[in-house]
Structure 1
Amino acid sequence: MKKIGIIFGMENTFPPALVEKINGLKVENVTAEFVKLGGVKMAEAGAYRVIIDRISQDIPFYRAFLKNAALTGSIVINNPFWWTADDKFFNYALASKLGVAIPPTVLLPHNQHPPDTTDRSMRNLIYPLNWEDIFSYVGFPAFLKPYSGGGWKHVYKVDSPEEFFHYYNQTGDLCMTLQHGVE
C-alpha cells in the first residue's frame, strides 16, 4: 500500500479536503492520511511514499523530519531543503546513509510550542511519545542537544530518563536530538 501523508498546522479546510479527495478516487493500493509523529529515528524510512507539507516553515521539528523522510526515499512536497540548508539531525542521517558510524540519534519534538504556533499547529504529533522505545534505541549515557547550531549551547549529558526529563523540560521551544553518548 502506498501512503500519502499530509502534515499541517492550523488550517482546517485544505488538508482534510485533500485526504478525502485522494481516498475518494479509490486508486488501487493508494491511501491518504494525516501524518502522525513521535520520536524520529535517523536514516530510517517512514511509512509514506509522498508527504505534502503545509507547516514545516513554522515548526523546525517537522522540517527536520521531512528532510530525513526525503533522504530515506519519500517524495516531499514542498521541498524542506528550501528553508534551511542543513541541520545536525540531517547531517547525522546523511552520514549514516553514507556508511559513517554515527551513534543512534532521535529527533525530538519541541518541549514547548515554537513562537507563533499553538496546539493546533502540532496536531500531527503522537502524544505522549513512546519514551521507552526512544530510550531503548538511543541508550544511556546520551547527549540531549539542539538539532541545529553549535558552540555547546543547550547540550546536556544525561545518564538516565530522570536526568533527561530534567533537562528536556528546560529546552523551551528548541527542537532537540537525543544521541547515544560515546566517550
Structure 2
Amino acid sequence: MADALIAVADDGAIRTVTVQRPDKLNALNAATLQALADAFRDAAADPEVRVVVLTGAGPKAFVAGADIAEMNTLSAVQGRDFSLLGQALMRQIERMPKPVIARVNGFALGGGLELAMACHLRIAADTAKVGQPEINLGLIPGFGGSQRLLRLCGRAATLELCLLGAPINAARALELGIVNEVV
C-alpha cells in the first residue's frame, strides 16, 4: 500500500521522494505519513544518498494538507495519534543527517506547509501557494507548524498566516523567508 502513496527514485546521489496522491492533492493520511517516515529512514541509512528532494505528484499540489476526509473519521485519541505521527515525521526530517529540499509545486497548505518547513531548504514554483488554513476548520497546525513558521519568519507573519488562514503566493513566501527561492 505504501508503494502507491509515495514514489522513491534515485538519480546518482540524489533521492527524490514524491507524495503520490494527486487525486487528493497529495493530502497526508496516516499511511502516507508512515510511508514518508520509512522513506526518510531508508535515505538516512543509505550511504549512496547525499541529498533528498521531497515533492508532490502532479502540478496542482506539493501537499494540500492533512486528509480531512480521514481526519473526520478519527476519534479524539486517534486524532491525537495522527498529530503525534506527523510531529514525529517533521522532527525526523529536521534531524536528517543529509540535506532535505522541498520542491514546492502548487499548494503547500496546512500539513503540507508544515512538511515543507521541516525540510532544510524550500524551493517553490512561482505558481505555488502556501498557508496555514487550519483556523478555517477550527483547528491549529497539528505538526508543529506554528513553531517552525515563527522561527522562519517571525511573530507578525506567523500570526497573520495562522489567524487569517489565507494562503499567500510564492513571491510573498520568499519575502517572508518561508521559502529560499522561487523558480
Structure 2 length as normaliser, TM-score?
0.30
Which of these two proteins has the greater Rg computed from alpha carbons?
Answer: 1
Greater relative contact order, per chain length (Cα 8 Å cut-off, separation 6+): 1
TM-score normalised over the length of structure 1: 0.30
- Point out the structure with the larger helix share: 2
